Amino acid sequence: MKPCKKCGKTIDPKITKNDTCPECGKKYPYFLSFIEEGYVGVNDVVFGRVKIYTNLKPEDYAIDELRFVFAETDKNRKEFYEFREKWDFKDVTEKEFEAIKLELKKRFNEPLKN
Ligand SMILES: [Zn+2]
């Protein structure tokens, strides 16, 4: 037995292996983890992925991922840092998840320019 990380209610491991109880899993279906990637010789571009985990099923692996890529400027770095701080390692609702997807696409998905 362990406590739900959202509400503290005791979770029976026979019901779910997740860190949230089934009720909180329904309320916050996704958990996000940002991963920045880097390649040798690529210095002016920031890119990586947001791994998406589900709180609805006892899956240990990411069920999906979102990509991000943007030119490395002080302004972009700062804006991305704030965005990441807000959502990294967070459980999110369906509504928040949809907004995050849109924001990531709109603000941090610039096509690469040569
Ligand atoms: Zn709970």
Cβ atoms within 10 A of the Cβ of 53, count?
Answer: 19
Which amino acid is residue 27, in one-letter code?
K
* Alpha-carbon gap, residue 37 to 49, rounded angstroms: 8
How many angstroms separate the alpha carbon of residue 96 from the centre of ligand 1?
18
How many angstroms separate the alpha carbon of residue 93 from the centre of ligand 1?
13
Of the pLDDT bands very low, low, confident and very high (cuts 50, 70, 90), residue 110 is confident
How many angstroms separate the alpha carbon of residue 15 from the centre of ligand 1?
13
- Can you tell me whether residue 66 is helix, strand or coil? strand
Tens-place pLDDT, residues 41-76:
878 899 999 999 999 887 778 999 999 999 999 999
- Read off the pTM: 0.86
* Average confidence (pLDDT) over 94-108: 96
Of the pLDDT bands very low, low, confident and very high (cuts 50, 70, 90), residue 38 is confident
Ligand 1 ion: residues within 5 Å (CB): 4, 6-7, 9, 21, 24
* Alpha-carbon gap, residue 23 to 27, rounded angstroms: 6
